[in-house]
Structure 1
Amino acid sequence: MAQFQGIEDLILKFLKNEISPDEERLLQQWLDEDDKNKILFDELTNKDVLQSKVRAFYSIEKDKKEAAKKEFFMQLANENKVVPINRYKRSWGWIAAAVVIGFSVITLTINMLKDKASPVPSANVNSRTAVAPGHDGAILTLGNGKKIFLDDEQDGKLTDVAVKDHNQVSYVDGSERKVELNTMTTPKGRQFSLILGDGTKVWLNAASSITFPTAFVGAERKINMTGEAYFEVAHDSKKPFMVTVNGMNVQVLGTHFNINSYGDQGSINTTLLQGSIKVSVAGKRQLIKPGQQAQVSNGNIKMLSNIDLAAAVAWKNGFFSFDGVDIKGLMKELSRWYDIEVIYEGYPKDLFSGEIDRNLTLTQVMKGLADTKVRYRIEGNKLIILP
């Protein structure tokens, strides 16, 4: 009878669809030896069991993960022309998970295919190392022009009013000191968070920035931003909070909202999760309620209701979320997070829906996309989409 350690490796390869014909015969031999083996195998490869194991694994960061996860696995599209990222019957995405097998914890990528056919070669990776996902990091520019690179900065006091603690910079009330403007910038492949002097919490996505005073001393709390940011504004009825982005203004008293203002999006999208905000541009004003999104483009405001709030802030909680986007829309997200250049030699016509863990390497993500027949090649920091 095969030793369990060897079978453990074979099961892992089966789950990753990397099992060879000889190894598959060994696995089948083990299954035929005892009905208990079949029961164990069925349990370990059962979707519901795996899902519960993954949920248990992610419960360590439950507060961060679950808030953004409306569903754990990818959404199936309603129309045939929309290709789910996990299009196969038993393909459950490529979310990195931990599955308990025996007494071992195996970190794996779940990508099970019901048919055992060999995958069509669809990718070439010409790189010594995999393209790593983005991580926490930013540049803090002080009023005197000094730049502090937070990636390498140790925790502790940065200035008289700013303190770094892991992936966050906190400002204390500096109203008694000279007030100056600071700017936090996240390059591509970075994200960071900060707490402003009034207690407002801000999360910056990749390729974003926020300019703010070290203390709010006037009648209003004004900041400027670019890119994408999520705000949890400290309530102060006497001092409205004002966000300015590309000529658009958002006024709040105390609320939770997300602003996506990337230049390649075509519009500035402001999504409200809690409270109320007022969006104004070119003399037009619109009050937004929770669950609504204001899309500002060319001086006009378009309102959308029943927004998927979890999807709108998925980035903040460690996921990409897609709903019927084309390949270019998907690649815009990946290029910012992995700091890569995307080159199109071909253009798949399909649309994509689903969620992807932002902690995966680019190679892991693209292997999952390859199962939807996306062909690609990676050359250094260039991702080439093939015909």
Structure 2
Amino acid sequence: MSKPNRIKFLFDQYLNNVITEDELAELNEHLQNNEDELQFDAVVNGYFDSASHAVHPKSKAIGDLAWNAIAHEIEKVQPKQRKLFSSLQYIAAAAAILIFLCSTFFIYRSIYLKDTLRKDIAHDILPGTHRATLQAANGKIYQLDGSKQEIINDENTIRYKDGALLEKEDQIQDFTLSTPKGGQYRITLADGTKVWLNAASSISYPSAFTGKERRVMVMGEAYFEVAHNAQKPFIVKTQSQEIKVLGTAFNVNAYQNEGVTVTTLVHGRVQLNSPDISEPAYLNPGEQSVLNQNAFRITPVDASFYTAWKDGEFIFKATPITEVLRQIERWYNLDIDYSGIPEDIQIHASIQRDRPLSAVLSAIEKITNLKFSIEGRRMKLTK
């Protein structure tokens, strides 16, 4: 693909909010490269000259940028005082202003738009990716390869899914897999159980399961597909509860700043126990437990809404905006100031998690009529 066509492709990807992390970085390089300036100008001009540009999600914003850039120039040709004009004078004045506006618009649109795009693209915040650390009980720490996306714990080895060896073990020991804000990762445990770990989360587990139980500990959010073993139950411990299963698939959300522990069952059956509750609770497929104020509240739900994150999607159904923003905060590695944000707003939306932050915020702002400002990685409501 020729360079002009490549720049046009990247620009279209950006306008349609489907640009990937690598493509955004490539577009930014073209914008910063003076040698590509004429080619980028041609792309921008072609965009405005095309009859199809109105379909782009960013079209209105880009059009506003171009026109706002010359607003102060328009004021210069507007009469300071009201005067009486003849019809011919009105026509002549209107024609002169129109010619001026058109010529000025074509001059300024590329200059101002290009500078603004340079700033927007360079400072846009990209979505999270596969990042994690693995820490052994002996203190050894591994920075995991993001391109590998998953590790597998076999009998005496820890390896990436593609077979690349990470560690050969001489003895059984405990490990903790941790993701930062803006990170996620997958692991297959020694018994074949698969775990998806969301951002700002961790799972502690042994390199091999001995004894009568398979026990792990989770902080944050994780999705489990538990390998069936009727003789050895699988137990997931969080700060406030234990989930006991034989073989099933479920999601557990136990972030401390959420204030509740949410367990959603996809298939199988689970038993929930809490030290503050005398009787256990049981979930059937399509049911969800919310542990709050020393009680299990069980309701039927569409489980796919609560597991969509592992497949690269945010799905919100009457979700309070503060909860939505906490998910965005974790995934985009932000610090959000929640002061002034109305807590009674609920959001219904489906948003891809691989979009830049600007695209996600644009969708939320349209839904809520709120406006947010970002400085570095700090975000707040614009008064």
TM bracket, shorter-chain basis:
0.5 to 0.7
> Is the 1:220–1:240 Cα contact (8 Å) retained in structure 2?
yes
Q: Which residue is 2:177 aligned to? A: 184
Q: Give aligned pairs, total.
A: 277
Gaps of 5+ in 1: 24-124
Pick the aligned partner of 1:16 from 57, 63, 85: 57
Match of 2:311 among 314, 317, 332: 317
Q: Given that residues 274 and 290 in structure 1 are in contact (C-alpha distance below 8 angstroms), is that contact kept between their aligned partners in structure 2?
A: yes
TM-score by length of 1: 0.65
Instruction: Return the alpha-carbon distance in structure 1 between the equivalents of residues 214 and 50 of structure 2.
Output: 57
User: What is the deviation of 1:237?
Assistant: 0.7
For 1:179-258, list aligned pairs within 5 A: 179-258=172-251
Gaps of 5+ in 2: 1-45, 67-118
**Aligned CA distance change for structure 1 residues 273 and 158 (closer, same or farther; 3 Å):** closer
Question: Who is 1:42 aligned against?
Answer: none
Aligned to 2:376: 380
CA, structure 1 residues 152+360, in 2 after alignment: closer, same or farther (shift >3 Å)? closer
Partners of 1:157 and 1:241 lie apart in 2 by: 18
Following the alignment from structure 2 to structure 1, what is the Cα–Cα distance between the partners of residues 47 and 147? 45
The farther-off stretch of 214-223 and 293-302 is 293-302
Quick check: 1:301 aligned with 2:296? yes
1:122 equivalent in structure 2: none
Q: Is the 8 A contact 2:157 2:165 kept in 1?
A: no
Change in CA separation of 1:355 and 1:213 when aligned onto 2, cut-off 3 Å: same
TM-score by length of 2: 0.66
Q: Secondary structure at the match of 2:52?
A: helix
Deviation at 1:297, TM superposition (A): 2.0
User: Aligned partners of 1:169 and 1:318: how far apart in 2?
Assistant: 27
1:343 aligns with 2:343: no
Q: CA deviation at 1:308?
A: 1.2
SS in 1 for 2:142: strand
Question: Which residues in structure 2 correspond to 1:98-113 (within 5 Å)?
Answer: none
- For 2:125 and 2:51, the matched residues in 1 are separated by 27
* Residue among 323, 344, 351 paired with 1:356: 351
Deviation at 1:288, TM superposition (A): 1.1
Shift of 1:157: 9.5
State, as a whole percentage, how many aligned pairs show the same letter: 31
Q: Residue 185 and residue 249 in structure 1: after superposition, are their counterparts in 2 closer, same or farther (change >3 A)?
A: same
C-alpha separation in 2, matches of 1:380 and 1:180: 40
**Following the alignment from structure 2 to structure 1, what is the Cα–Cα distance between the partners of residues 333 and 133?**
16
Equivalent position amino acid for 1:212 in 2: Y
Q: Secondary structure at the match of 1:321?
A: strand
Contact 1:232–1:254 (8 Å) recurs in 2: yes
2:255 aligns to what?
Answer: 262
Query: Is residue 2:248 matched to residue 1:277?
Result: no
RCO higher in 1 or 2 (8 Å CA, sep ≥ 6)? 1
In the other structure, the counterpart of 2:362 is 367
User: Over residues 280-308 of structure 1, what are the superposed CA-to-partner deviations in whole Å (9 max), with x where a residue is unaligned?
Assistant: 11232012111111111233211112x11
Please identify the structure whose Cα radius of gyration is greater: 2
Given candidates 130, 133, 141, the residue that maps to 1:139 is: 133
Q: Distance in 2 between matches of 1:141 and 1:246?
A: 20
Query: When you count helix as a share of all residues, which structure comes out higher?
Result: 2
Extract structure 1 runs of 4+ deviating beyond 6 A.
5-8, 153-159, 166-172
> Given the superposition, is the C-alpha separation of residues 344 and 9 from structure 1 closer, same or farther in structure 2, using an over 3 Å criterion?
farther
Note closer, same or farther for the CA distance 1:271–1:170 as it changes in structure 2 (3 Å cut). Answer: farther
Asked if the contact 1:138–1:192 (Cα under 8 Å) also holds between the matched residues in 2, the reply is yes
Distance 2:315 2:195 in 1: 20
Say if 2:153 and 2:188, in contact at 8 Å, map to a contact too. no
Structure 1 residue 218 displacement after superposition = 0.9
CA distance 1:265–1:158, shift in 2 (3 Å): closer
Aligned-partner Cα distance in 2 for 1:360–1:293 = 29
SS in 2 for 1:313: helix
Q: Name the structure 2 match of 1:101.
A: none
- Structure 1 position 266, deviation (Å): 2.1
